[in-house]
Amino acid sequence: MFNRGSQRGRRVIAISPNGPTGNGDEVEARFLAPHFESEGFPWLQIFGYIGSLLLTIAALLAVVQHILSPIGLLTVILILAVAQAALQLGIFMHLRESRGSTWHIITLGLGIVIALGLVGMSMWIMTFKSGVS
Amino acid sequence: MNLPVEPNATQTKLPLEFTDNHESLKILGFWSFLATDLLLFASLFAVYAVYQSRIGMAGPSPDQLFKLGPAVVETLLLLTSSFTCGLAVYEMRHGHKTGTIAWLIVTILLGIGFVTTEIREFVSYIALGDSWHHSAFLSAFFTLVGTHGAHVSFGILWAITLIIQLAGRGLTTITTRKMYMFALYWHFLDIIWVFIFTVVYLNGKI
């Protein structure tokens, strides 16, 4: 149940079923109030689509035209890919939308940290060209 | 069957899929699944990054194997399907059942186009003798890209069952939650493909 009430002049949204418990959920709710979009026309989606197309075309042209050294090119297209992932997350996956808590961002963040560690450390360990390779 | 809406939840103008506490938790649970799926793909990316230069005694290098044409077509199809899936959620949020189903059908057709293009690409490689058992690089390539293609194929089947449910039951707390989850899954696959396009195809042409 969402109890909208006033507590010391500030608006509080309780996220527990029985209203504010006094155990911290009010604090969480105050800063992470439910946030949902309601636009009249899907401008955001159109912006996201055009943005992702532009980022893809930029990466493709950069590689086809060989505008930089190999290391520079790889850096640029990886940055473009990360930008496009952020765009998909923010616009299409409604990352900012939540019901009073943002545990999905924490879960996803942990997944990203482990994923980067997995890929990065695998590549790092294989740069030691010892007997096994 | 529609779950009872909490009395005061309607006043906060929550989207239908977030009005019920348990359905909201299922969405959080699906984010956890996506985090673990991310780890699956991270493992395959790690294998590819390590083995992309190891072509063994025979077999082509990434530069010799890939043609950018099919990869660009696949990227455009998947980016557009991600957009139409976003429009389906937009229509759902505005309570338009027909619009939701229509954009979902467009999404499925684009997804079928993607899978078809990818299968044709794989067949063209195998026809030249570059099968997955030929070198460590080819094994890593077919596993990584094939796992993503299997995810998309599963997503198409999921979307078909979703359309049947939406048509039969309308926009309820449960069907909108399922639609929201499918959208998360589909956009997640688009993000994975962006990295496959970058790390596998574009990187192979540098």
Contact (CB<8Å) B21/A48: no
Over range A10-33, report the average pLDDT.
50
Q: Does A56 touch chain B (CB under 8 A)?
A: yes
A31 confidence band (pLDDT: 50, 70, 90) = very low
A5 confidence band (pLDDT: 50, 70, 90) = very low
Q: What residue numbers bound the domain in which B195 lies? A: 16-51+83-204
Nearest CA in chain A to B90: A42
Contact (CB<8Å) B27/A104: yes
Q: Please give the tally of structural domains in chain B.
A: 1
Best mutation target among B12, B43, B137 (most A Cβ atoms within 10 Å) is: B12
What are the tens digits of pLDDT across the range B68-96? 999 999 999 999 999 999 999 999 999 99
Over range A66-82, report the average pLDDT.
94
* Domain assignment of residue B1, yes or no: no
The answer for A 13-42 residues in CB contact with B (under 8 A) is 13, 17, 34, 36-39, 42
* Domain assignment of residue B72, yes or no: no
> Taking 60 as the threshold, does the pLDDT of residue A133 lie above it?
no
* Domain assignment of residue B62, yes or no: no
What are the tens digits of pLDDT across the range A95-123? 888 776 788 999 999 999 999 999 999 98
- Rounded Cα–Cα distance for residues B13 and B19 (Å): 9
Contact (CB<8Å) B79/A81: no
Helix (H) or strand (E) segment spanning residue A13:
strand A10-13
* Domain assignment of residue B45, yes or no: yes
From the list B6, B39, B197, the residue facing A115 with the nearest CB is B39
- CATH number of residue B97's parent domain: 1.20.120.80
* Domain assignment of residue B163, yes or no: yes
> Taking 50 as the threshold, does the pLDDT of residue B8 lie above it?
no
